Structure 1
Amino acid sequence: MLYDHLVVRYGELSLKGKNRRHFENQLHETVKRKLRRFDNLKISKLFDRLVIELNGQPHEPVVGSLQDIFGIHSISPALRTENNLDEINKTALIALKDAMENTDKRTFKVTGKRSLKTFPVNSMQLNSEVGGYLLRNTENITVDVHNPDVEVKVEVKDTGTYISCQTFKGAGGLPIGVGGKAMLMLSGGIDSPVAGYLTMKRGVRIEGVHFHSPPFTSERAKQKVVDLTQELTRFSGGKIKLHVVPFTKIQQIIKDKIPASYSMTIMRRVMLKITEKLAEKNNALAIANGENLGQVASQTMQSMYAINEVTNLPILRPVITMDKLEIMDISQKIGTYEISIRPYEDCCTIFLPSAPKTKPKREKAIRFEQNIENLEELIEEAVQGVETIILEEGRSTETTFEELF
């Protein structure tokens, strides 16, 4: 195995001024948790990088795990050498030959970065010195500073010089934990898991909230949401809690007491009220959901206006302006699409009226809601009956549906 280190570069957190140290510490902790399954790795935190000593571990699976971590801009397998120009030249030649072996690549450029200011060669000189050495010691290879086949990155640090010829894209965004916590309304469809992923990309921890209405919705529908949450743990930096709300009683009352055209509006208002109470119990400062403007009756501007009134918490809607195909592309990339399309319906689908109001009036919604006696007691009963499932990447603390049947 050629490479002995990985160089992990930060994304936009490097621009965060006084918060930078906090952001870097959060990222460092997430990386340590994510990589704990690998033996013998040594993680070092430099000023503007993380450097991981592989100690014989193949770099490919480690890179794959790092690509799921928000806050990372890129990862490069690297060779470490001493801060000596002769050693740097020799090591750069090894790396370049490996990158071009058995390929049709024929051009390169050197990108030097001298963070160690006591090193006698500056960045521009480093480009020239290393580039000249590589040209003299190779055949049929030329320099292309604009569009090279291989970029030889030479980074001089106080811990040594790291040389890389290959770079893998990271997840970007901000490290999990720097943006507080939000409750994610997780239906089981395509949109809400993508919303959860994008919310986490901004550094926000999430806890899922799913409304379950047995016997109208099956255990398989619930298991689908458990599996979606499990998939999202890849990006969470740890565990995700899923709160399963018993919603049958409230839905039946809504069906009996509310005009059919307004039943979806009232149901969404009650869901928000319950989610807000769960946010208060779990120290969350916002609610996230997969609403997409104009996609269904409850997601028109008028519907959102009539529904949002019941909470003062910010409502994050990361997919609100996306086309359905854009959302599907992300869901396929993050591994939730095949789970989301399993044919098990959630409570919103089961109780969907034939002609839901697309432009409900807030005043009417408030008046119709008053038809439900003891609504606050019903909401509190649902909150008290919540089942909380804790999921962690690679395993669940709860028995899965397959184990039950």
Structure 2
Amino acid sequence: MLIRLGEIALKGLNRRKFETRLISNLRYRLRDLGKFKIYQDQSRVYIEKREKDEFKFPTGEILHRIKDVFGYVSASPVRRFANDIDLLFAQVKSYVDELFDDGAKHSFKFETRRIDKKFPLNSYQLNCDLGEKVLTAYPEQATVDVHNPDYLFQIEIREEIYLYHEIQPAYSGLPVGTGGTGMLLLSGGIDSPVAGFQMASRGMQLEAIYFHTFPYTGDQAKQKVIDLASRLGDFCGKLPLHIVDFTDIQLELNLKVPENMLTVIMRRMMMRIADRLAENNKINCLITGESLGQVASQTVDALRCTNAVVDRPVFRPLIGIDKNDTIKLAREIDTYETSILPYEDCCTIFVARHPKINPNLFDCEQAEKDLDIEFLVEQGLKKIETIVV
């Protein structure tokens, strides 16, 4: 299996750190499939059977398992063989025979990268000679199409020769574990899972926190969030999900906070608990799915009020993204259908009818004057269920 590096190849003296982490993440995804030789050479990573192993190389399953790993741009199942022109022609014939065995008509094209300049034929000559042999072998089936072929046969001539036609695109980005740690405020909505995906794609290792208000939000809402966290875990490996019993805190807020300030004060309380948990778990930052102006709690003034109660930086990767683009990405990463299940979280159930759109810090301090903030934060931290997905 040939894996092409992207952004990692542009790194400088610390490049080895990123390559090592990528190999470690790939090995983790394949841990129960068998032991493989995984190594890096130039701007490629290779996955191979060990010489002593006799099992069939599980190409399809490997492609499936590594498709959600960040840090590479594409992968291809390849044939690798010695750098010999006669062997190349024999391998191409065998390779094409397997693909054309169905008897159907196929168009094709050859593309060659001749990294080894000592190879006796240049790229153009080799493409022409190989194409002629395929046309001769399959006069009724094969046609050349240089623009949109059914099969684009690619050859890389290095110390050894690599032959392939299939390319599986990947999500690129940086390997998870190279970009610090972040605590994702995960709801059951569309935005926060996408925000988590975006930060994981930059190499961030995630934990997630969810605020549950049973019985106002039921077990189905909780399971919905667990399912979303599990999907994010496909991208970032093990993901601890911290489920906070927020019911008593929410009822206290409903009782003592002015109705038009309830939304922003609830957000401030969630941010405090998430920030304290992040501190306890040695996590560098908070992550939310907020987008500027999307709802009343996501105006500049409201975001300033929520930022004021935390010590860590708050990353909002969707802050300037149109909702339709967020939905498109949610569909791509397979979180959308789960997110739209009709089980509401506390942010939608307890939202104020007419929230203050442009609150300031003085408004928040006045709204919180009857609350024992430290007691409520401690109460939230004591009622956490952690699930590793």
TM-score by length of 2: 0.90
Offset at residue 21 of structure 1 (A): 0.6
Matched, 1:26 2:26: no
Please tell me the residue identity of whatever aligns with 2:130.
Answer: Y
Give the SS at the match of 1:53: strand
Distance in 2 of aligned mates of 1:301 and 1:109: 55
Q: CA deviation at 1:96?
A: 4.3
Q: C-alpha displacement at 1:37, in angstroms?
A: 2.7
Work out the CA distance in 2 between the residues paired with 1:111 and 1:380: 64
Cα shift readout 1:359-378 (whole Å, capped 9, x = no counterpart): 21222112222231x21122
User: What residue is the counterpart of 1:15 in the other structure?
Assistant: 10
Distance change (3 Å), C-alpha of 1:37 and 1:227:
same
Give yes or no for contact 1:109–1:144 (8 Å, CA) kept in 2: no
Report what 2:376 is aligned to.
378
Matches within 5 A, 1:161-240: 161-236=161-236, 238-240=237-239
1:99–1:150: 8 Å Cα contact kept in structure 2? no
Distance (Å, rounded) in 1 between the aligned partners of 2:281 and 2:332: 30
Aligned to 1:301: 300
Query: What are the superposed Cα offsets for residues 258-294 of structure 1, whole Å, 9 maximum, x if unpaired?
Result: 1111111111111111111111111111111111222
Q: 2: CA distance between counterparts of 1:330 and 1:101?
A: 38
Partners of 1:85 and 1:157 in 2: CA distance: 12
CA contact (8 A) 2:71 2:171 kept: yes
User: 1:198 is aligned with what amino acid?
Assistant: Q
Quote the Cα distance in structure 1 between the aligned partners of 2:114 and 2:62: 25
Q: Are residues 202 and 113 of structure 1, via their aligned partners in 2, closer, same or farther at CA, if it must alter by over 3 Å?
A: farther
1:346 aligns to what? 345
Range moving further from structure 2, 290-299 or 101-110: 101-110
Contact 1:96/1:165 (<8 A) preserved = no
Residue type at the aligned position of 2:153: V
1:197-346 correspondence runs (5 A): 197-236=197-236, 238-346=237-345
What is the DSSP-based 3-state SS (H/G/I as helix, E as strand, rest coil) of the residue aligned with 2:135? Answer: coil
CA distance change for structure 1 residues 223 and 136 in 2, over 3 Å: closer, same or farther? closer
Deviation at 1:143, TM superposition (A): 6.3
**Which residue matches 1:400?**
none
What letter corresponds to residue 27 of structure 1 in structure 2?
L
Is 1:120 matched up with 2:118?
yes
What is the deviation of 1:144?
A: 6.2
CA distance in 1, matches of 2:19, 2:263: 44
CA deviation string 1:23-63 (max 9, x = no partner): 01000001011012323643333232122225523422211
What is the Cα deviation at residue 319 of structure 1? 2.0
Provide the secondary structure at the position in 1 that maps to 2:13. helix
Given that 1:95 and 1:165 are in contact with CA atoms closer than 8 Å, whether structure 2 keeps it comes out as no
Instruction: State the one-letter code of the partner of 2:384.
Output: V
The residue aligned with 1:389 is 387
Per-residue deviation at 1:181? 0.6
CA distance in 1, matches of 2:347, 2:312: 22
In the TM superposition, what is the alpha-carbon distance from 1:241 to its structure 2 partner? 0.2
Aligned partners of 2:229 and 2:241 also within 8 Å: yes
- Greater mean deviation of Cα atoms: 282-291 or 34-43: 34-43
Give the drift of 1:147.
5.6
> Is the CA contact 1:156–1:162 (under 8 Å) kept in the aligned structure 2?
yes
Contact 1:108 1:145 in 2 (8 A): yes
Give 2:109's aligned amino acid: F
Count of residues in correspondence between the two structures: 379
Q: Greater CA deviation, 322-331 or 143-152? A: 143-152
Tell me, what secondary structure is at the counterpart of 1:312?
coil
Contact 2:38 2:45 in 1 (8 A): yes
* Aligned residues of 2:135 and 2:143 also touching (Cα < 8 A): no
TM-score, normalization: structure 1? 0.86
Conservation of the 8 A alpha-carbon contact between 1:293 and 1:301 = yes
How far apart, in 1, do the equivalents of 2:377 and 2:73 lie? 43
Distance across 2 between alignment mates of 1:109 and 1:130: 5
The alignment partner of 1:268 has SS state of helix
CA distance in 1: counterparts of 2:39 and 2:174, whole angstroms: 20
Amino acid at match of 1:67: K
Q: Hey, what's the Cα distance between the residues in 2 that align with 1:127 and 1:366?
A: 73
Structure 1 position 62 matched with structure 2 position 57: no
Which of 19, 38, 53 is equivalent to 1:43?
Answer: 38
- Provide the C-alpha distance between the structure 2 equivalents of 1:144 and 1:314, rounded to a whole number of angstroms: 53
Q: What secondary structure, in the 3-state scheme, does the structure 2 residue paired with 1:9 have? A: strand
Structure 1 residue 324, shift from structure 2 partner: 2.4
Change (3 A) 1:66 1:131: farther
Aligned amino acid, residue 235 of structure 1: F
SS in 2 for 1:18: coil
Give yes or no for contact 2:290–2:319 (8 Å, CA) kept in 1: yes
Unmatched segments (≥5 aa) in structure 1: 1-5, 392-405
